[in-house]
Amino acid sequence: MSDLSSFSATVSATTRDSVLVVTIDNAPVNATSVDVRSGLEKALTHAETATDVLGVVITGAGKTFIGGADINEFGKPAMEPTLPAVIEKIENLSKPVVAALNGAALGGGLEVALACHHRIASPSAQLGLPEVKLGIVPGAGGTQRLPRLIGIAAALELVTSGRVAKADEALKLGIVDEIAKDDLVGAAVSAVQNLAGTPLRRTGALSIAPADPAEIETAAAKILAKARGQKAPAEAVRLVTTSTRPFAEGLADERATFIALRDSREAAALRHVFFAERESSKVEGLEGIEARLVSTIGICGLGLMGSGIAVAALGAGYSVIALDQTPEAAEKGRERIIGLLERNLASGRLDQASFDAQKARLSVTASDADLAPCDLVIEAVFDDLAVKADLFQRLDKVIRPNAILATNTSYLNPDEIAAATAHPERVLGLHFFSPAHVMRLLEVVRCAKTAPDVLATGLAVAKKLRKLPVVTGVTEGFIGNRIFSAYRREAEFLLEDGALPHEIDAALEDYGFPMGLFAVYDMAGLEIAWARRKRQAATRDPAARYVEIADTLCETGRLGQKAGRGWYFYPEGKRTIDPEVTAIIEAARAKKGIAPRSFSKDEIQDRMLKAMATEGEALLAEHVATRPGDIDLVMINGYGFPAHKGGPMFARD
Ligand code: 3HC
């Protein structure tokens, strides 16, 4: 092996058996920033002209091959050389170029690999074109080269879902040519030696296998329906399905589409979400604080929520000791948890060995003392202060002094629950969303006395559970339900002011919510919110505007879809506008002397967004939420706010 030569600050090479082994080292994820592009270009020029170089291996330093184009460069003036230009140079080099995929090859990273003449992956490599998740399409040949390698149907699925394929799937699909179990670079060097002097397989020159038009049409229709008005998936469909046209024409169209989308509001919103997700676990005061070790989690209360949490914990590799009030209830809980695991087994999300292992890590009990080995106990019992305080007092006596207690309360004050214990510093809130084994959001509640390493442990456990943790301070409903209450309140003001439930729902669905607010209420049932309103009645500010319509609906038995009627009427299960509800709304307006007026879709959307953003501002001012991005993540991941609009705080700007 010869000495290291440097082509730029982030691209260096060694020569191994006459092969130039080029390594990209651009922490954290080897993104193709301008310095990487120019280093690669120089390395390729050197390889082309140096008579003692047989060909090139491209690989990445660390655990990533290339994580994609540098997202931080988006929105800045273009800097030469462009990624497509470098990629074209790879494909057209007269000497073989082999990609040694040592880890994630995503977006522009996979596009670099696709232009190489041969691809070898390590078993841990992950390949994908996640651009649609950023509101863009691949911009350096991905939509044109991938179908040439694996066919239109498979490429369509990968490009429009943005999902990642592991090495063995990538091999089966034909994205990579080999998997090297050990000495990846050695295998790539051998491949260059074997290819040298032979006709090179240039991906852009391959013809595309004919696809079944009906199959492609059905797949495309499904993708477009799921996109709910987002532009990138539709453009991705167009580019992949037309990839049979001349290669240069497809590339030019792809690049122009990429640039237009990259500069769009939708892409800016999704980039905001991308960075907000990475920012959210950086919490002030936790720098250098180590999380406590957690291997056994106790879960109290095995209803829907507790069972979901148990499934998430088992899936993350924790041992679970699950407690309910009686042996019968505990056994029922066990059945519910196993039932959820069986569903995962049947759907293929879980293989038999993992199912068996998870089942073996679960035990249930009705005795507090059995929770003694737990490092963390999460309660998901009835949302009542006395019930939760009593449970925590009992647990205080059986768990180790350094074990942590977490409450899953939605509306109670966790500081009051903590105050009932002898060690409030070991109490925090872990507010899961239902179903807890599916929903990604987890509000991690920092109580007044929560110790920093207890909070750090909450965040570490959340990550291991593959949740998206967002830290919130204590307030009624935390970040999500506080904003949701403001959203609901505004919708009810709109009702009184002149809009009807279906008009508000249509405006919200048009904005990108999967379902309108009133349809959601009908689906969930109106009684829980009604009970809360009754509890709050005594302390409500009599001067504040209060809309009685929902109470009237509940009093007349309109408790939602299960009751056959709520905000809508459900003949044969079909949601229908109900004149009776319209009459109740009109009577409420008349009682307050409100002269109703009509509202446009835009006006409804503006008022709803403003209400959410104003409440968000209040949460920031009260230091309940740390960053606007945290609020956006909560609303996107817990309440159906469309990610491509960036969340209420981003949308407000
Ligand atoms: N550009 C710039 N920064 C990036 C980046 C990118 N493409 N990908 C990740 N980063 C940054 C993150 O912001 C984070 O920064 P921070 O430490 O300051 O918070 C850091 O890298 C580490 O990221 P993660 O926390 O996500 O690290 P992981 O190890 O968990 O995951 C990864 C690594 C799988 C590569 C993941 O970061 C990822 O999925 N990245 C995005 C991949 C992507 O979307 N690529 C496509 C980009 S668009 C494109 O390529 C266009 C092309 O077609 C022209």
Q: How far apart are CA 160 and CA 240, in angstroms?
A: 9
Q: Which of 41, 88, 111, 492 is catalytic?
A: 111
**CATH code at 5-262:** 3.90.226.10
Residue % of the chain over a pLDDT of 90: 93
Strand order in the sheet with 296-300: 362-365, 319-323, 296-300, 376-379, 404-407, 427-432, 441-445, 468-472
Show me where the domains of the chain are located.
Answer: 5-262, 296-474, 480-623
Buried b (16+ CB within 10 A) or exposed e, 541-554: eeeeeebbbbbebb
Can you list the positions of beta strands (E) in 312-447?
319-323, 362-365, 376-379, 404-407, 427-432, 441-445
Count other Cβ atoms within 10 Å, centred on residue 79: 12
Cβ atoms of residues 43 and 13 within 8 Å: yes
pLDDT digits (tens, 9 = 90+) for 324-340: 999 999 999 999 999 99
Q: How far is the CA of 472 from the centre of ligand 1 (A)?
A: 25
pLDDT at 38: 97
107 lines ligand 1 (CB under 6 A): yes
- Tell whether the model's pLDDT for residue 449 goes beyond 90: yes
Q: Average pLDDT, whole number, for the chain?
A: 96
CB-based contacts of 185, cutoff 8 Å, min separation 6: 16, 21, 57, 59, 100
CB-based contacts of 488, cutoff 8 Å, min separation 6: 517, 529
Question: What's the fold here for domain 296-474?
Answer: Rossmann fold (3.40.50)
140 lines ligand 1 (CB under 6 A): yes
pLDDT digits (tens, 9 = 90+) for 337-359: 999 999 999 999 999 999 999 99
Q: How far is the CA of 66 from the centre of ligand 1 (A)?
A: 9
Rounded mean pLDDT of 85-112? 98
pLDDT digits (tens, 9 = 90+) for 369-408: 999 999 999 999 998 899 999 999 999 999 999 999 999 9
Q: How far apart are CA 134 and CA 64, in angstroms?
A: 20
pLDDT at 604: 98
Question: Distance between alpha carbon 253 and the CA centroid of its chain, in Å?
Answer: 30
Q: How far apart are CA 218 and CA 501, in angstroms?
A: 34
- Phi, psi dihedral angles at 560 (to 5 degrees): 120, -170
Cβ atoms of residues 555 and 588 within 8 Å: no
Tokens of 485: 């209450």
Q: How far is the CA of 505 from the centre of ligand 1 (A)?
A: 36
pLDDT digits (tens, 9 = 90+) for 459-484: 999 999 999 999 999 999 999 999 99
Probe residue for ligand 1, chosen from 24, 29, 37 as the CB with the greatest number of ligand atoms within 8 Å: 29
Catalytic residue list contains 284? no
Catalytic residue list contains 131? yes
Q: How many CA atoms lie within 13 A of 221 on its CB side?
A: 6
139 lines ligand 1 (CB under 6 A): yes
159 lines ligand 1 (CB under 6 A): no
- Tell whether the model's pLDDT for residue 3 goes beyond 70: no
Q: How far is the CA of 29 from the centre of ligand 1 (A)?
A: 6
Residue nearest to atom 52 of ligand 1 (CA): 108
Tokens of 163: 């999902």
Q: E strand or H helix at 480, and its extent?
A: helix 478-497
Rounded mean pLDDT of 238-256? 97
Residue nearest to atom 41 of ligand 1 (CA): 67
- Tell whether the model's pLDDT for residue 209 goes beyond 90: no
State the pTM of this model. 0.93
pLDDT digits (tens, 9 = 90+) for 423-446: 999 999 999 999 999 999 999 999
Q: Which top CATH class is 480-623?
A: mainly alpha
Using DSSP, state whether 4 is helix, strand or coil.
coil
278 lines ligand 1 (CB under 6 A): yes
pLDDT class for 2, splitting at 50, 70, 90? low
Rounded mean pLDDT of 129-158? 97
Q: How far apart are CA 453 and CA 408, in angstroms?
A: 19
499 lines ligand 1 (CB under 6 A): no
pLDDT digits (tens, 9 = 90+) for 405-420: 999 998 899 999 999 9
pLDDT digits (tens, 9 = 90+) for 516-532: 999 999 999 999 889 88
Residue nearest to atom 38 of ligand 1 (CA): 67
The residues with which 428 forms a beta bridge, in sequence order, are 406
277 lines ligand 1 (CB under 6 A): no
Q: How far is the CA of 28 from the centre of ligand 1 (A)?
A: 8
Among candidate residues 13, 10, 11, the one with its CA nearest the CA of residue 2: 13
Looking from the CA of residue 70, the nearest atom of ligand 1 is: 1
Tokens of 545: 């505007």
Q: How far is the CA of 279 from the centre of ligand 1 (A)?
A: 12
Tokens of 24: 């990209």
Tokens of 228: 């709910």
pLDDT at 519: 97
CB-based contacts of 490, cutoff 8 Å, min separation 6: 607, 608, 610, 611
Q: How far is the CA of 110 from the centre of ligand 1 (A)?
A: 13
Rounded mean pLDDT of 197-226? 93
Strand order in the sheet with 118-121: 5-6, 11-16, 19-24, 55-60, 97-101, 118-121, 178-179
Q: Which of 88, 131, 266, 277 is catalytic?
A: 131
pLDDT digits (tens, 9 = 90+) for 548-598: 999 999 999 999 999 999 999 999 889 999 999 999 999 999 999 999 999
Probe residue for ligand 1, chosen from 63, 71, 258 as the CB with the greatest number of ligand atoms within 8 Å: 71
